[in-house]
Structure 1
Amino acid sequence: MDAANIITIILGFFILSAIFASILIFLENRDPSRTLAWLLVLMVFPVVGFMIYLFFGQNIKKKKIFKMQKLYSDIKASKIFDSIRDFENLIEIQKQAIMEDLIFVDPEIDIKRRIMNLLLNTGRSPFTLNNKIKILKNGDEKFECLIEDISNAKEHIHMEYYIIKDSQIGNRIKDVLIRKSREGVAVRILYDDVGCWNMWFKRGFFKQMQKEGIQVEPFLPVFLPFLNRKLNYRNHRKIVVIDGKIGYVGGINIGDEYLGRSSEFGFWRDTHMKIEGEAVYMLQLTFLLDWYFSTKHKLFDPKYFPPISYCGHDVMQVVASGPDSNWEAIHKAYFTAITQAKKAIYIQTPYFIPDESLLMALKTASLSGVDVRIMFPGKPDHKMVYYASFSYFEAILKAGGRVFIYDSDRFIHAKVMIVDDEVASLGTANMDLRSFMINFEINGFIYSKDVVLRLKEDFMDDQEGCREITIEEYNSRGIVQKLKESTSRLFSPML
């Protein structure tokens, strides 16, 4: 058989595979925009498209991969909630309390009731009243506070990160964790195998901790992760739980760039929060579920949910979402908050790729007189996502919304939404389809006005360092820029 025949057979195989993949995508009943995008790629570029689909597009049935019903059965069998409160009954009690206006009696804050009830129904996320929230602006504040709390740990330290780097701050944290492990504190670390692709070349970082008794495990390990940095179903969460009483969540991973030490990005603006109180229970539960999924080790024990005395009066819901859920809880909470807004919607995000529902909600809010502002970086860290994001600003600007571009000498990575000075969301989810529908994410929805106003104050401070784009300036973009944006937008449902 000559070379020409071999090539013909190979091409035929890929074309048939692309046709088969197209049929599968069609039958999966995905979002129409995602379906059309994949079908377009497979039809125009059958060979390359099929390879891309193998790496990024497979929508393997969630029930076969993430057997959450078994996890919930294990939770109930372990009776971990016997020492705090019955979980299922708590959800029902809280729904009834919201319906009977036992939580908020001010009719002007109906938005809180709607979001709370939505998250009780979609995210199995009880709200908690006994919390103290501390907003941490930038890596310096987060890491100094975190290291101090780790140093004071008595029982256990649970850490879950999308990115952990062998860096100055990474080694500083590693040294503290090793010291605590030697003192008898149980330390467990869960990292995403794709997010931490760089550790494939620096295995000594984790091995040193493992030799000291620290348990370090990858989430959904893949073959050669450094070649597959966009694989689906990644764990994008950033969680720390210390002794079951102190928790951290937000946008800051572990790396020197988050301290402004990157020559590429310069000053890195981000937002994290420290939580003391009952909301930590949900951070703990999320970690334990992810740990069980990755290791099959059951840690559902009451000792990880110790009694918590009065911490403060901050009200919040911690919401985990991902492909293991029947509902995209964070996405739906964003949609509800935006559609219920009466005065203002302020969004900070490094990526802006909304689906049609969120884009329509934002446009409708702006057209109805709501002050819609979106803050976005002035430099890209992922160019295709960056250009795709820019293509969506036209609709926002035409509807009367405002777009602010952060100083191009600095980078903003904060993931914050503030609505009507009444509700704020802070966590790991970006304003994009990957965060809402593919990755494992976790956000805190905050209902305490003083905390919400603090986040608004930070937004306004950041706005001072931004350049506002007008519709005239946007329309004057060059043809090259427009081509980049249009091409990237075609792939946006897959990004």
Structure 2
Amino acid sequence: MNLWGQIILAIIFLNTVGAIYTVFHEKRDVTATWAWLLTLTMLPVIGFILYFFIGKKMSSDQIYDLKTQKSLGMSELAAFQKEMLEEEEFEKADADEEYRINTAILLLETNESILTRGNKVEIITDGEEKFNRFIEDIKSAKEHIHLLYYTFRSDALGQRIMDALEERAEAGVEVLVIYDALGCRGNDRDFFDRLESLGGKSEVFFGSKIPFVNLRMNYRNHRKILVVDGKVAYMGGFNIGDEYLGLGPLGNWRDTHLRIQGNAVLTLQSRFFMDWNAVVPEEERVKYEDRYFPISSKVGNTTMQIAASGPENDVQAIKMGFIKMISQAKKSIYIQTPYFIPDMSVYEIIKMAVMSGVEVNIMIPSKPDHPFVYRATEYFAKDMLAFGANVYIYQDGFFHSKVMVIDNEVSTVGSANMDVRSFRLNFEINSFIYDPDIAQELMTLFNKDIEKSLKVDGDYFENQSKWRKFKQQFSRLLSPIL
């Protein structure tokens, strides 16, 4: 064998040994382990570069710091409420209500997600409306503004919101901002400087020690939260930036966000403080104060829970909530998601629902913003279609809404996509809403979206090119790590 042959054999051997060690020395899901092993062995050198960016797990120190952040003011109430639901609610619940109580207890047990009643929930799907009201509520703040967004661009919309935050900070209102380092890549470096000079504070989530470069693609804070005076809150799918007004390369932007009043706001307040305390030095951590948690009287008719999940928890609370809702569906399931890449547990429970006669409807985008992710989405959509689900492909711009409605009775809206990344790798937050009126409003919006969508059949996928089908198959193999 010549010298070059020996060098190639040595590279293959070292790559294989390195792949085995790299993948198996960290505890991870079995499917993700095999997907990474495939990637590292099939793509020498390139596979390790990918792993360095998106495969490395959080350090044990980071996980410990995140786990030690307690829900301010929520833990004791969650324990009491779980006992109340188990002992009282089941006794007077009829058969149609029982599955909602089951979901509520699950989220209390896994996430200390308290059940709040008498909330007012408004659904917003238009970016202009969302951000106009968003800015109005910021300008109305008297005591404190707490904002956490995955993406907070330093563009025209971002500057409008920053101007409102700076004006309130200058007036003496407490302004705390968390932004994700990866979601805000490309921002002007001095974007938050004036806010801080006026007394506001900003913190980056999992920033990089290397200027201009962030090497960690996973474990991002994908949540979107605004809490004003502990009385009004926003959560959902819209990030902050011109593209979310339909001014980006993907064109019109279809998303779903919630404006919330009532005691559910307090659970979002608690979640914000948990994330804030995880990124600031110990001496700057916020402690419980009554002024942050003003108990409100009934302002609406909506009962709901706010659930969060992230890689610091072994229990994937949002995914478990999804599974619980789907497993108890009797008539219909409506899913809207930009990325449909379920793990095996979610895949099987949806498939079981379809094969049990439950009407399953899935809506996905027509435009890819991540090529591998979109091809995997196509693969799983095609698979569900073959089992009997209805699949709709939204045609009017980019579809970013993250919604599920069960039996026109219960629903969930939030930041979590129907994919492995949201279930296991990112920090997400979702509302679980037990209100038929909200469910019906979401169903009305779904039906309006159908008017702008293509309902596909088997021929749609069958007539695609062999190259596109290959990309779908290949992306499906990588789905545990996308």
Coarse TM-score class (shorter-chain normalised): over 0.9
CA contact (8 A) 1:14 1:50 kept: no
Aligned-partner residue type, residue 339 of structure 2 = Y
Change (3 A) 1:251 1:405: same
Which of 466, 469, 475 is the aligned partner of 1:482?
469
Structure 1 stretch 208-217 or stretch 160-169: which is displaced more?
A: 208-217
* Paired amino acid for 1:243: D
1:350 aligns with 2:338: yes
User: Which residue in 1 is equivalent to 2:174?
Assistant: 186
Residue of structure 2 equivalent to 1:268: 253
Aligned residues: 475
Q: Which of residues 197, 205, 213 in structure 2 aligns to 1:219? A: 205
Identity %: 42
Q: Within 2, Cα distance between the matches of 1:352 and 1:106?
A: 34
Does 1:468 pair with 2:455? Answer: yes
Q: 1:67 is paired with a residue of what secondary structure? A: helix
Question: 2:343, 2:419 within 8 Å by CA — same for their partners in 1?
Answer: yes
**Residue of structure 2 equivalent to 1:328:** 316
Is the 1:387–1:488 Cα contact (8 Å) retained in structure 2?
Answer: yes
CA displacement, residues 119-171 of structure 1 (integer Å, 9 cap, x when unaligned):
11111111111311111112112111111111110001010000011222111
Whole-Å Cα distance in 2 between the matches of residues 224 and 132 of structure 1?
44
Pick from 76, 79, 100: which aligns with 1:112? 100
The residue type paired with residue 494 of structure 1 is I
| Aligned partner letter, 2:242 | D
CA contact (8 A) 2:181 2:214 kept: no
| Conserved? CA contact 1:349–1:413, under 8 Å | yes
Q: CA RMSD in A?
A: 2.3
CA distance in 1, matches of 2:418, 2:136: 32
Q: State how far apart, in whole Å, the 1-side matches of 2:384 and 2:432 are.
A: 24
Structure 1 residue 8: deviation in Å? 5.6
Structure 1 residues 304 and 15: alpha-carbon distance in aligned structure 2, compared to 1, 3 A threshold: farther
Please list the CA deviations of residues 436-494 of structure 1 after superposition, one character each: whole Å capped at 9, or x if unmatched. Answer: 00100000000011111111111111111100110222222211210121222222111
Report the Cα distance in structure 2 between the residues aligned to 1:209 and 1:70, rounded to whole angstroms.
29
| 1:99 Cα deviation after fit | 2.4
3-state SS of paired residue (1:46): coil
* Partner Cα separation in structure 1 for residue 160 and residue 285 of structure 2: 30
Shift of 1:420: 0.7
Partners in 1 of 2:12 and 2:53 — Cα distance?
15
Aligned partner of 2:117 in structure 1 is: 129
How far off is 1:106 after superposition? 2.5
Check whether the contact 1:138–1:258 (CA below 8 A) recurs between aligned residues.
no
Report the CA distance between 1:23 and its aligned residue.
3.0
* Separation of aligned partners in 2, 1:436 and 1:230: 18
Matched with 1:448 is 435
Contact in 1 for aligned 2:405/2:411 (Cα 8 Å): yes
Shift of 1:403: 0.5
What's the counterpart of residue 65 of structure 1?
63
Where does residue 210 of structure 1 map in the other structure? 196
Partner residue of 1:163 out of 151, 155, 174: 151
C-alpha distance in 2 between matches for 1:14 and 1:442: 43
| Cα shift at 1:242 | 0.5
Q: Where does residue 84 of structure 1 map in the other structure? A: none
CA contact (8 A) 2:15 2:41 kept: no
- TM-score scaled to structure 1, two decimals? 0.91
Report the Cα distance in structure 2 between the residues aligned to 1:456 and 1:226, rounded to whole angstroms: 43
| Paired letter, 1:40 | L
Letter in 2 for 1:246: V
1:361 has 2:349 as partner: yes
Contact 1:62–1:324 at 8 Å: present in 2 too? Answer: no
Contact residue 186 and residue 214 of structure 1 kept, 8 A:
yes
Deviation at 1:325, TM superposition (A): 1.5
Distance 2:261 2:62 in 1: 36
Matched, 1:424 2:422: no
5+ residue gaps, structure 2: none
Shift, 1:89, TM fit: 3.8
The answer to whether the 8 A contact 1:259-1:267 is kept is yes
The amino acid of 2:449's aligned partner reads D
Query: CA offsets, 1:167-199, max 9 Å, x none?
Result: 221111111111111111111110000111111
- Structure 2 residue 274 is matched with structure 1 residue 289: yes
Q: Which residue type is aligned with residue 207 of structure 1?
A: D
Match for residue 24 of structure 2 among 12, 18, 26:
26
Distance 1:350 1:39 in 2: 27
CA contact (8 A) 2:277 2:285 kept: yes
Instruction: Give the distance between the partners of 1:142 and 1:14, measured in 2 at CA.
Output: 54
Residue 226 of structure 1 and its aligned partner are, at CA, apart by: 6.6
- Paired residue for 1:239? 225
Structure 1 pair 64/136, CA: closer, same or farther in 2 (3 Å)? closer
